[in-house]
Structure 1
Amino acid sequence: MTSTVTSTEARAPWVARAVPYLPLGLIAVLGASLAYVVRLPCRTGGWNNQVTTYTNFCYTDIYPLYFDRELSTQNPYFASVPFDKQVEYPVVLGEVMQVFSWIARALDPDNVAQAVRFYDLTVILLGLCLVVGVLLMAAVAGPTRRWDPLWYAISPAVVLAAYINWDLVAGALSLGTLLAWKRGRQVPAGVLLGLAIATKFYPLMFVGALFLLTWRTGRWRPFLVTMGSAAAAWLVVNVPFMVFAWDGWRRFYVFSQERGVDWGSPWLFFQNKGWPVLGEADVSTLGMAALAVMCLGIAVLTLAAPRRPRLAQICFLALAAFMMTNKVWSPQFVLWLVPFAVLARPNWKPLALWQLAEVWYFIAIWLYLLAQPPLDRDDLGIADDTYFTAVWGRVITIGIMMALVVRDILRPEKDVVRQADIDDQAGGVFDRAPDRFTLATLTK
């Protein structure tokens, strides 16, 4: 049944195929517009006052980094600025920032006006990435689950976090990777994956998901072509900076390694409470060890499950494990996970519970920062214990979703996606592929 629907859809004129996506695209435009409205109190001057920024819940990295990373005068990677003032992002984002700073400087001589224009230009790009990401997600989900991307288009957590940072760019590239893989186009899938990793680091977790399902199905050639294309694309955009701007290029990697425990991470709770007392080196080691244990568990699950898991399920589990064990868990990280959580398990109750936890965290972090030095506004902010209810709310609700996905993998009849006579809507060469290796074969 699924193959008939897919082939019929493929034969239809492109205009006819595009019509079902139009309402989703319009709703995504609404979500992008609401995200802009949320930050209007800051855009009109609030960013110059931290108390105003936090009480209006309209913080963004985009405006202050224009000044703090000297984008008004310097190239992010070739600039002769102190190491801690260099851009701490991979090269695709760094050059996006550079291009928009050039345009902003050309449009207005005033630095403050430039920064606002830089923000507006960036938001236009991010809004487009959200709309494109929603449409790509709908194409991945397929006709039977076409409305599931509404969670990405207009959920409150996405609207609130959309323009904090540049994460939506990596989201569009990641979903493009998934769609290209679904359609058996391994070279474009690899190119998009390489660019996604050169934009934000988290798409690297999808390599493990592809590897595990390749191992189980024995479809090595598509995997190797994709990985080769990803490596080539990553090298093409990175090597020029590695050769001509080494210090600027390596800033992201040094910053990621040396960064201490930061807001949102469960490790911050343990440091704050002293249970146990953790040094920065200890947290780095514990975080990597915890991630390794969780990834090992995902590998065992993938190779031991009675039926091959869907690609979106393993991507979700791997990405959730990465977020839960990381030294920092910023509010905008919700944008990473929403599409894969919905594709993995589009059941509204656990998704709604998690979204409530994300909204509470979004509110709590800014109120908590109000009570921290140098502001020390205890009259406006919240204390440690209240803030950490939000931290653990995210951990617990995502943990619940992970447990439900694991249950669906172990009991495939519970998987609502597969109940529609679908094997793996994003699987590409994995879709309906027979097993070549499972852990059960080791006992035979």
Structure 2
Amino acid sequence: MTLPDVDTALARMLARTAPLDEETVGLGEADGRWLAEAVAARRDQPPFDASAMDGWAVRGTDVRPGARLRIVGESAAGGSVDFRLNPGEAARIFTGAPMPEGADAVVIQEKATRQGDAVILGEAGADPAWVRPRGGDFKAEDVLLSAGVRLNPWRLALAASAGVGAVRCGRRPRVALLPNGDELVEPGRPIADHQIFNSAGPALAAFAARCGARPTALPPARDDEAAIRSAVTGAAFDLLVAVGGASVGDHDRVKPALRALGAEMIVEGCAMRPGKPVWFAVLPDGRIVLGLPGNPASALVCAELFLAPLIAGLQGGAPTPRRDSAALAVDLPANGPRDHYMRARLEVGAEGRLLAWPFSNQDSSLVSVMAQADALVRRPPGAPAAVAGEIVEVIRPS
């Protein structure tokens, strides 16, 4: 059987991933959420001509070196202005304050001298650049953020400045994490010599939360079809992530258990390294299942490439991995027939170039290597040997 490449496998998964229902949330709850509808401005920003500096509001036609202007008022941020500047007049003004009617320029305070009830202008004069025009950032009814955009602090600031206090977003998906295997024990509990701690579960829960999901860690299931079926049918989720039991050994019972529940297998393996056993299925009720390898490093590589996009798709978003390029810091041998995602450390070299240092040992069981990695270096199938300095594609963590 010819396995699909990463892009093909992901496309098949996303084709069966429907956005969940929507909800309205306040800005304080919206960070990391995907917008379900556009955000439009409720008024101009700034809502008035405003000063960009502390100084003196003046009429441009009055500005000349040594001009003496009568002070007729003051404008401060947050205050209203109920007077007009006539020829030969000026007003004290502060950053962010509204310009008085009749004023069209600002002389910064360093370029003028106050003498009683008058201000004497210096040599530099006034600069219209010190005036922020009404609507200079955006205007009422301008679409500021489109549906499908993921919110972050910068975008939340934009929504807030437009007067928007709540936004319509896709619901956070419930992601149930099901580690399975008789060898697994939860961290912190007594363990036998022949067992291992469940390290992939906590890592994937944190990963899912960072992607905007509400993760639930289910107790590890035994290598028994009935136990796995019971765990699946008893859990409330939009996306089930099964960790381990994804290969074809006698004790890998996850896929047979799901087939017994009527699941349709969409992807069964991918031409990638690590993570070849990754799989994807759809339950009869439409809920989706992502199967990940049991090795934590393999599971996390697959999470970057598949889990993050699926969580986004459930919220109506369409993310792409954070791809970049870097120069290799070491030589690499030719690659085999599968995409190879190599754990690597990034640093900025002496010439300001981003350098990638792939770790020499890429065994998928090495959690310590994954913990030191800043990125994944992608080596395409059949890539020839690469020398230090060659540019390669890197994927930064979500």
TM-score range relative to shorter protein: under 0.3
With a CA cutoff of 8 Å and minimum separation of 6, indicate the structure with the bigger relative contact order. Answer: 1
Q: TM-score, normalised by structure 1?
A: 0.23
Larger Rg: 2
Structure 1 or 2: larger helix share? Answer: 1
Q: TM-score, normalised by structure 2?
A: 0.25
Structure 1 or 2: larger strand share? Answer: 2
